[in-house]
């Protein structure tokens, strides 16, 4: 499915008029609709969210309001899928812009994962536990659920990987190599001895059978384009110009960057850490531009800048605009039609839910 063009009347409205329409429709739909906004959304979208958070926090929030029939998820496709999986059949989930995907999630294709699994099985390797980052498609979560695996977030990944290593001889970590490497190092594994990078375009991920068998964690060759951009050179530059400034980065950054930072944490941890710091604190933040700028605007008694002089926004996340949100709400109010509904196939939903519930029960 691809996004259909927005109606001309919305395209011709001024930004101010769009905001007026949004405030009106949100008020009139308050009994029927809940709006969820991811931290990386632009301010003119996030201002209309009933809840703001990371992907899983928002999906959980939706489950707490079973009386809200319509859930509008201002995020990306895998987030809306997760919300649909976790909410009741009576609830409907919409994504304001259908082309808002996730580059990282797209790097783990179910067919490639199946191929890798068969290659491993052909070697006689047993006791493999698949772990997938929540930033993955419903189909990948379903594969993991059907193979006794589990989902993780950037906040609970250490705990989840420990669980997986205690249950199996090997862990297949999907789809973010950097999060997997950082977490595996955190739980005591050696990056050189115990981990390998699995390239799905190559036989056995680009390794020989001996290396595959001797490695505890196989890291899928995927990454977040935003977080991979942060570099060691940028940290060194900040340290030289602002020696008192603390550096905090997301664990989707490379291991070299995370090793040099003062703190590493999920989006929620980054927000909590900076918010709880004393006035006058100075922070360089290695995460998405919109979030960093929002923190700087809301916490003016602290110095908050991006770690990079040229920070990136999440281009796929920012495909959702105020006009797309206005279209969803106006159609729902005027015609009782929920556009852009995200509905996960029942069999995939059931299998993916197993992996999500395992995580929730554990953490």
**Is the per-residue pLDDT at 363 higher than 90?**
no
Q: What is the mean pLDDT of residues 205-213?
A: 97
pLDDT tens per residue, range 216-251: 999 999 999 999 999 999 999 999 999 999 999 999
Q: Cα separation of 339 and 286, whole Å?
A: 35
**Is the per-residue pLDDT at 59 higher than 90?**
no
**Is the per-residue pLDDT at 1 higher than 90?**
no
Q: What is the pLDDT of residue 113?
A: 98
Residue 253's nearest CA partner among 242, 261, 245 is 261
Q: What is the pLDDT of residue 2?
A: 83
* Max Cα–Cα distance, the chain, nearest Å: 64
Q: What is the pLDDT of residue 56?
A: 83
Q: Cα separation of 100 and 279, whole Å?
A: 37
Q: Which listed CATH number (3.40.50.10800, 3.40.50.150, 3.40.50.2300, 3.50.50.60) goes with 227-306? A: 3.40.50.10800
Could you tell me the residue ranges of all domains in the chain?
Answer: 8-101+316-344, 105-225, 227-306
Model confidence band, residue 282 (pLDDT cutoffs 50, 70, 90): very high
Q: Cα separation of 61 and 160, whole Å?
A: 22
Q: What percent of the chain has pLDDT over 90?
A: 95
Residue 40's nearest CA partner among 102, 126, 84 is 102
Q: What residues have CB less than 8 Å from 354, skipping those under 6 apart?
A: 145, 146
β-bridge pairing 51-53 and 33-38: parallel
CA 248 to chain centroid: 18
| Dihedral angle over CA of 312, 185, 120, 204, nearest 10 | 60
For the sheet with 217-220, list strands across it: 150-152, 128-133, 170-174, 217-220, 195-198
Q: What is the pLDDT of residue 60?
A: 87
Model confidence band, residue 137 (pLDDT cutoffs 50, 70, 90): very high
**Is the per-residue pLDDT at 126 higher than 80?**
yes
Q: What is the pLDDT of residue 133?
A: 98
CATH T-level fold of 105-225? Rossmann fold (3.40.50)
Q: What is the pLDDT of residue 330?
A: 98
Report helix, strand or coil for 97.
coil
Model confidence band, residue 29 (pLDDT cutoffs 50, 70, 90): very high
How many CB atoms are closer than 10 A to CB 167? 14
**Cα separation of the two ends of the chain:** 34
Mean pLDDT over each residue of the chain, to the nearest integer = 96
Q: What is the pLDDT of residue 62?
A: 86
Whether the pTM exceeds 0.85: the reply is yes
Q: Cα separation of 108 and 19, whole Å?
A: 37
Q: What residues does 35 pair with on adjacent strands? A: 72
User: 145, exposed or middle or buried, with CB in 10 Å at 0-12, 13-18, 19+?
Assistant: buried
Q: What is the pLDDT of residue 55?
A: 84
Residue 141's nearest CA partner among 349, 362, 346, 1 is 349
**Element at 112 (helix H, strand E):** helix 110-122
CATH T-level fold of 8-101+316-344? Rossmann fold (3.40.50)
Q: How many C-alpha atoms does 323 have within 13 Å on its Cβ side?
A: 14
**Element at 144 (helix H, strand E):** helix 138-146
């Amino acid at each position: 499915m691809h996004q259909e063009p927005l109606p001309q009347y919305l395209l011709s409205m001024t930004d101010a008029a769009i905001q007026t329409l949004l405030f009106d429709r949100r008020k009139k739909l308050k009994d029927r609709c809940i709006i969820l906004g991811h931290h990386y959304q632009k301010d003119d979208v996030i201002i209309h969210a009933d809840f703001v958070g990371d992907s899983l926090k928002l999906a959980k929030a939706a489950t707490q309001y079973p009386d809200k029939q319509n859930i509008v998820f201002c995020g990306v496709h895998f987030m809306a899928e997760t919300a649909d999986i976790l909410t009741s059949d009576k609830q409907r989930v919409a994504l304001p812009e259908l082309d808002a995907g996730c580059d990282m999630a797209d790097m783990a294709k179910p067919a490639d994962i199946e191929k890798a699994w068969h290659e491993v099985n052909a070697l006689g390797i047993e006791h493999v536990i698949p772990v997938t980052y929540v930033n993955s498609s419903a189909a990948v979560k379903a594969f993991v659920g059907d193979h006794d695996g589990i989902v993780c977030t950037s906040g609970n990944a250490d705990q989840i990987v420990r669980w997986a290593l205690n249950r199996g001889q090997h862990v297949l970590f999907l789809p973010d190599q950097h999060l997997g490497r950082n977490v595996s190092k955190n739980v005591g594994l050696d990056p050189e001895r115990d981990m390998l990078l699995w390239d799905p375009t190559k036989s056995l991920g680009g390794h020989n059978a001996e290396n595959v068998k001797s490695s505890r964690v196989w890291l899928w060759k995927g990454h977040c384009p935003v977080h991979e951009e942060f570099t060691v050179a940028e940290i060194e530059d900040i340290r030289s110009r602002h020696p008192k400034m603390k550096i905090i980065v997301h664990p989707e950054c490379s291991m070299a960057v995370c090793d040099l930072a003062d703190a590493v944490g999920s989006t929620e941890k980054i927000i909590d850490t900076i918010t709880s710091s004393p006035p006058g604190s100075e922070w360089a933040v290695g995460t998405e531009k919109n979030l960093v700028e929002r923190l700087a605007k809301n916490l003016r008694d602290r110095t908050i800048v991006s770690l990079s002089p040229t920070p990136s926004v999440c281009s796929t996340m920012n495909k959702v605009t105020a006009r797309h949100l206005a279209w969803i709400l106006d159609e729902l109010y005027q015609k009782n039609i929920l556009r852009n509904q995200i509905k996960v196939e029942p069999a995939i939903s059931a299998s993916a839910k197993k992996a999500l519930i395992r995580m929730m029960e554990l953490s």
